[in-house]
């Protein structure tokens, strides 16, 4: 009797495992629908200048889409090609940022402006797939979205075939059941006037520079936010030695005891960003951020003074991994 029970239990478990495996495999290419924003690239010199500033500055596109081996140039704030191909090793597998140069075979040369805009605003690729939440430009203004697309249309085309993302078992399960497009939280603004106000600082920190994305605890498997905004504690691997070192983002809230920049003056904040990368393991895009204007850095500083203070002590921002 016991042997029969064990036999049937084993068969049922096998059936469940096979069934789930089939469902996971069938859902690896799941398609999603999303509107195409009415965005058209412009040749206006002011629009292109704004786009270049965003791409190589606060939007820090080069931090992910630069070619492997150019990391030091990016850290110095230099303008580099954007053919993609870097390997981001995550708990879910290997993610390879795409070629965003206008090359027609391997880049975005054959994609419409609206298709690119949909990817950036709704997280849906040209083939309908959900894009992993690494480009949080969902609430960026129409004007800035237009500027970015307009500018990358003008950069040098580079032929570079990008490997397909290589998901492990966990990644395949997440892709099948949990990965969905994010999209804007409301109606994105038509334009946002650059100034030194708290509102503009919020826009830059939340919708363009994505300060909130690294300085808030997140689930590395899904990308979901699981901590208080800007309270730090998000763990990331070193950008130069991911095998041996790990980084943890500092608390940027105005908590008197644990806030990293509590007591800093506006001048101190701007000066620190201008210094660029000091800790070689830091994953923060210091190079691109060092190109930001005083106006926008002051706005971000003012905004950070208004966020909710959270007591969260981050002891070390860089440490060796335990063997």
First to last CA, the chain: 48
Q: In 3D, which of 80, 141, 152 has the Cα closest to residue 113?
A: 152
Helix spans in 76-225 (H) = 113-122, 142-152, 169-177, 198-203, 211-214
Note the pLDDT of residue 161. Answer: 96
Q: In 3D, which of 155, 144, 135 has the Cα closest to residue 80?
A: 155
Distance CA 44, CA 54 (A): 16
DSSP E strand boundaries for 194-320: 235-237, 245-248, 318-320
Distance CA 156, CA 102 (A): 7
Note the pLDDT of residue 18. Answer: 65
In contact, 302 and 198? CB cutoff 8 Å = yes
Note the pLDDT of residue 214. Answer: 92
DSSP E strand boundaries for 60-191: 88-90, 93-95, 166-167
In contact, 155 and 205? CB cutoff 8 Å = no
pTM of this prediction? Answer: 0.90
Note the pLDDT of residue 56. Answer: 96
Distance CA 256, CA 254 (A): 6
DSSP 319: E
Distance CA 231, CA 17 (A): 40
| Rg, C-alpha atoms of the chain | 22
Note the pLDDT of residue 4. Answer: 64
Query: Who's near 297: CB < 8 A, 6+ residues apart?
Result: 269, 270, 273
Note the pLDDT of residue 142. Answer: 97
Q: In 3D, which of 221, 239, 122, 233 has the Cα closest to residue 173?
A: 221
Tens place of pLDDT for every residue, the chain, 323 residues? 656 665 556 666 666 666 667 676 766 788 999 999 999 999 999 999 999 999 999 999 999 999 999 989 999 999 999 999 988 887 888 889 999 999 999 999 999 999 999 999 999 999 999 988 888 899 999 999 999 999 999 999 999 999 999 988 888 888 877 788 889 999 999 999 999 999 999 999 999 999 999 999 988 767 778 999 999 999 888 877 877 888 999 999 999 999 999 999 999 999 999 999 998 889 899 999 999 999 999 999 999 999 999 999 998 888 888 76
Note the pLDDT of residue 79. Answer: 94
Q: In 3D, which of 219, 195, 225, 214 has the Cα closest to residue 297?
A: 195
Which run of H or of E encompasses 154? none
Structure-token match 């140069």, residue found: 101
Q: In 3D, which of 202, 239, 272 has the Cα closest to residue 64?
A: 239
Up-side HSE of residue 146: CA atoms within 13 Å toward CB?
19
Note the pLDDT of residue 189. Answer: 96
Q: Are strands 166-167 and 235-237 parallel, antiparallel or unpaired?
A: unpaired
- Tokens read off for 257: 């005891």
């Amino acid at each position: 009797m016991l042997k029969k029970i064990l036999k049937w239990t084993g068969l049922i478990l096998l059936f469940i495992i096979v069934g789930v495996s089939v469902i996971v495999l069938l859902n690896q290419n799941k398609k999603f629908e999303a509107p195409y924003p009415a965005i058209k690239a412009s040749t206006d010199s002011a629009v292109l200048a704004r786009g270049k500033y965003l791409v190589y500055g606060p939007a820090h596109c080069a931090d992910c889409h630069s070619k492997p081996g150019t990391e030091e140039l990016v850290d110095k704030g230099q303008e580099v090609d954007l053919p993609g191909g870097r390997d981001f090793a995550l708990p879910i597998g290997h993610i390879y940022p795409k070629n965003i140069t206008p090359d027609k075979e391997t880049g975005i040369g054959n994609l419409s402006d609206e298709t690119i805009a949909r990817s950036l605003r709704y997280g849906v690729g040209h083939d309908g797939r959900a894009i992993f939440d690494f480009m949080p430009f969902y609430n960026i203004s129409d004007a800035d979205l237009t500027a970015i697309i307009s500018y990358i249309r003008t950069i040098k085309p580079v032929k570079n075939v990008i490997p397909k993302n290589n998901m492990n078992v966990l990644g395949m399960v997440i892709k099948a059941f949990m990965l969905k497009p994010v999209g804007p939280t409301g109606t994105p603004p038509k334009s946002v006037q650059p100034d030194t106000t708290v509102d503009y600082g919020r826009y830059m920190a939340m919708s363009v520079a994505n300060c909130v994305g690294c300085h808030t605890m997140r689930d590395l498997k899904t990308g979901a936010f699981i901590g208080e905004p800007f309270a730090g504690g998000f763990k990331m691997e070193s950008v130069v030695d991911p095998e041996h070192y790990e980084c943890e983002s500092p608390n940027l809230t105005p908590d008197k005891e644990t806030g990293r920049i509590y007591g800093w003056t506006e001048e101190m904040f701007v000066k620190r960003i201008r210094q660029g990368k000091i800790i070689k393991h830091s994953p923060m895009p210091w190079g691109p951020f060092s190109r930001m204007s005083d106006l926008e850095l002051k706005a971000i500083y003012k905004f950070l003074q208004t966020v909710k203070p959270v007591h969260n002590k981050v002891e070390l921002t860089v440490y060796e991994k335990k063997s």
